[in-house]
């Protein structure tokens, strides 16, 4: 009878050790899966943010200000220029305020010879107004000029890129 008790105790101790090992493995696996779930949740959140950002770009709800109420002074028949990089197709709006001449113009230029694109458009502004130009994702040159052959000009310029 005593042998049965000893064997029963040994089996019981062995089963206890196996249960402890299984419990430790279960805790480890649960922790690993919880870490993986949190990682996937973070990935999903990041991707949802990217979808919102890209949807805003497709809807052209994003913009960047390239010049904000910048005052420029020009001599007769001259221009000031800005070179900016557009990463997405969209449009650029150039607002000219308080020009001291009625011979102000806005010009947008960009080229991509690889795709055969050569864009150069000039719009006469008079003494103020807003000119809007379609743009492609290239380096864009914006010029605000004074075509008055005798007098210089002062203008206040705001350039906004919508994409």
Q: What is the pLDDT of residue 112?
A: 85
pLDDT of the chain along its 163 residues, tens only? 555 565 678 888 888 999 999 999 999 999 999 999 999 999 999 999 999 999 998 888 999 999 999 999 999 999 999 999 999 999 999 999 877 899 999 999 999 888 888 999 999 999 999 999 999 999 999 999 999 999 999 999 999 999 9
Write b or e for each residue in 59-75: b if 16 or more Cβ atoms lie within 10 A of its Cβ, otherwise e: eeeeeeebbeeeebebe
The predicted pLDDT at position 8 comes to: 78
pLDDT of residue 3: 59
Which H/E stretch holds residue 149?
Answer: none
Q: How many C-beta atoms surround the C-beta of residue 79 within 10 A?
A: 17
Confidence at residue 2, expressed as pLDDT on a 0 to 100 scale? 55
- DSSP characters for 102-145? S-EEEEEEEEETTTTEEEEEEEEEETSEEEEEEE-SSEEEEEEE
pTM above 0.75, yes or no: no
């Amino acid at each position: 009878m005593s042998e049965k008790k000893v064997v029963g105790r040994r089996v019981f101790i062995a089963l206890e050790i196996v249960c402890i090992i299984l419990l430790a493995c279960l805790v480890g696996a649960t922790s690993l899966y919880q870490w993986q779930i949190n990682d996937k949740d973070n990935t999903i959140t990041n991707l949802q943010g990217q979808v919102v950002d890209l949807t805003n770009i497709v809807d052209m709800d994003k913009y960047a200000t390239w010049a904000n109420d910048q005052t420029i002074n020009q001599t007769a028949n001259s221009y000031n220029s800005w070179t900016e990089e557009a990463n997405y197709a969209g449009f650029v709006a150039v607002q000219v305020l308080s020009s001291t001449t009625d011979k102000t113009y806005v010009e947008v230029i960009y080229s991509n010879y690889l795709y055969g694109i050569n864009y150069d458009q000039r719009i006469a502004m008079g003494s103020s107004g807003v000119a809007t130009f379609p743009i492609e994702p290239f380096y864009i040159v914006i010029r605000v000029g004074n075509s008055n052959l005798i007098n210089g000009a002062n203008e206040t310029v705001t350039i906004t890129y919508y994409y």
